[in-house]
Amino acid sequence: MGEETQVAGTSSSGGSNKGVILAVVIVIVLLLVGAIFYKTVLKNRKVQESTNVKPTSSQTVQNNTKVTPVPTVGTSDASLDQDTQDIQNSLQKVDSNLNSVDSDLNNQAADTPQ
């Protein structure tokens, strides 16, 4: 009466049951990941196909581009001389600003303890 018989292929600790359950869970997770990936790829293909649609003969393509006239630019000697003078003035301002920045950096370097 006090004897317990063990059926061949089973374990009293339940270790093989844990392995089977783990394997089933891994398979289910892999199937879910594969299904999600598959749906994503199909959706991307459908989006690409819908962007490549060419108009049929019954569809009309409208071109609403407006042409704006290009303003004429003075090319006379006086105009070119004025442009050159404006460029020179701008470069002098840039040079002045650069000298100011260099001076400020030198002052900061002198104020920094070593």
- Taking the domains of the chain in order of start, what are their residue ranges? 15-52, 77-107
Q: Are 14 and 8 in contact (CB under 8 A)?
A: no
Please check the confidence at residue 3 and state whether its pLDDT lies above 60. Answer: no
What pLDDT score was predicted for residue 49?
Answer: 64
Of residues 114 and 97, the one with the higher pLDDT is 97
Mean pLDDT of 23-38: 93
pLDDT band for position 27 (50/70/90)?
A: very high
Please check the confidence at residue 48 and state whether its pLDDT lies above 90. Answer: no
Type of residue found at 1: M
Look at residue 28 and give its three-state secondary structure: helix
- Alpha carbons 63 and 58: distance in angstroms, whole number: 16
- Which of 4-18, 36-50, 54-68, 76-90: highest mean pLDDT? 76-90
- Gyration radius (Cα) of the chain, Å: 40
DSSP state of 76: S
CA distances from 47 to 6, 15, 35, 53, 76 (A): 60, 49, 18, 10, 56
What are the residue ranges of helices labelled H in the chain? 15-51, 77-111
